[in-house]
Structure 1
Amino acid sequence: MKIGTLLTLEFKKAQQTIKYRCKVIEKNEKYLFIDYPIDTETKKTAYLSKGTKLSATYIGNDQSIYNFRTEIVKKVKLVVPALAIPLPDDDKVQRIQRREFVRIDTAIDVAIHSATNSIAPIVTVTSDISGGGVSIIIPRGRTLEEGSKVTMWIVLHMHSGQYKYITAEAEVVLLKSINNTIQTASLKFTDITKQAQQTIIRYCFEKQRETRKKELSI
């Protein structure tokens, strides 16, 4: 793991899971040194005590997602205040399976066509996306059915400025109403190329990095 790697930390408290973001700012043969984590919901700096046990996730050079268990060992003073966590052994780092993709909240243009032509095409935006599927906002006056099969066209605006066009087969797995006004549908990919999936994962990583940079500039 190189300096500059972004980490997502998860801390489980009772029935709640709190997520933080941080960055590896230094390392040696024993420890990774991370800047003070930021709570992903409150956007506030978290002051984690020594011994706090966490789950850490990051994206490797191969764009795969990796996870390892860790804990806060000590506080240190570098150029900026930092926390030390043990450098994980290779056999303790696990590659996350496809069903465990990181999901980010973002609005992306998407078009949906029924596999059976039972409904007219729907053009809308996502509410979140991951390498395993998306959630979309259902336009007023339109409907989808749980279990229905669709073909999706997704437009990703990459950090490089390029547009990537993704086509995938998907299944509607859940319909939900938000505040009785907005209808959403969760869809999981059932047929997607590895290349397309890796493009989505890279897009999610880029959006996470953009969010992290904005948080650090506040």
Structure 2
Amino acid sequence: MYPKIGDLLFISVDSGDEKEANIQYKSRIGDMDEDSILIEVPMQEGTGRLKRMFIGDELSIFFMTEGGIKNYFNSYVFGYKEDVIRMVRIRRPEPESISKIQRRSFLRVHAELEVAVKTDKMLRFVTRTDDVGGGGLSFYCDANHRISEGEGISCWVLVPYKNGSIEHVPFNGEVVRIKVLENGRKIVMVKFTTIADMERQKLIRYCFERQFDFRR
């Protein structure tokens, strides 16, 4: 079963913030094309508050079919369309990826990849990721590195594939959360704010390869 133009979508956003991830929004499908679904700006249920969507936001979505059955899929924001009203462009899922079972944050996998970081305050360092996904990543940071929530960063991450090839993936991001570990080191959680769709696909390919390994 595939969603249709006019169907309601119920959306959760994986922002790296647990409270935000538990908020549900709803939106209506305005149009579709070969690789995307165009939706109205999502609205929070109960409050009517509009949700500002950023390119790279990872989404867990369901829509209802006959008998009240929930059909889940995962997607991410990769553009906008200015029409009579502003539309948000999300990646259209493959039909076989739509499931009766919810799979949140399926693009995020544990991975220790080399990442070079430059902050808005011109702090530069090279470190390792804790996890990566299509909408963001987390990396380790020494206790003496001054970095704060809401800060902008520019990075590249080194992505190795099973066939032996290696890609450098550049992106700009925003620090959404910092977790301090018992040893004083920090895990910095970042969402992408600017990343070329081609570069994002490189990360998604890596994540699928890692997921395949985990399943085996």
Aligned residues: 131
TM-score norm. by structure 2 comes to 0.53
Match of 1:146 among 115, 129, 149: 149
More contact order relative to length (CA 8 Å, sep ≥ 6): 2
Match of 2:99 among 68, 81, 88: 68
CA distance in 2, matches of 1:113, 1:159: 28
Q: Does 1:119 align with 2:122?
A: yes
Relative to 1, partners in 2 of residues 1:177 and 1:210: Cα closer, same or farther, differing over 3 Å?
same
Question: Is the 2:142–2:184 Cα contact (8 Å) retained in structure 1?
Answer: no
Over residues 160-208 of structure 1, what are the superposed CA-to-partner deviations in whole Å (9 max), with x where a residue is unaligned?
A: 1000110001001101112353311100000001111111011000011
CA distance in 2, matches of 1:136, 1:130: 12
CA distance in 2, matches of 1:134, 1:152: 11
SS of equivalent residue, structure 2 residue 122: coil
1:106 equivalent in structure 2? 111
CA distance in 1, matches of 2:112, 2:179: 17
Q: Aligned-pair RMSD on alpha carbons?
A: 3.2
| Structure 2 unaligned blocks of 5 or more | 1-68, 76-90
CA distance in 1, matches of 2:169, 2:194: 12
Relative to 1, partners in 2 of residues 1:58 and 1:192: Cα closer, same or farther, differing over 3 Å?
closer
Relative to 1, partners in 2 of residues 1:69 and 1:190: Cα closer, same or farther, differing over 3 Å?
same
What does residue range 78-97 of structure 1 map to in structure 2 within 5 Å? none
CA distance in 2, matches of 1:182, 1:207: 26
Question: Is the 1:149–1:169 Cα contact (8 Å) retained in structure 2?
Answer: yes
Relative to 1, partners in 2 of residues 1:108 and 1:63: Cα closer, same or farther, differing over 3 Å?
farther
Relative to 1, partners in 2 of residues 1:211 and 1:57: Cα closer, same or farther, differing over 3 Å?
farther
CA distance in 2, matches of 1:204, 1:64: 16
Question: Is the 1:54–1:69 Cα contact (8 Å) retained in structure 2?
Answer: yes
Relative to 1, partners in 2 of residues 1:170 and 1:204: Cα closer, same or farther, differing over 3 Å?
same
CA distance in 2, matches of 1:162, 1:64: 27
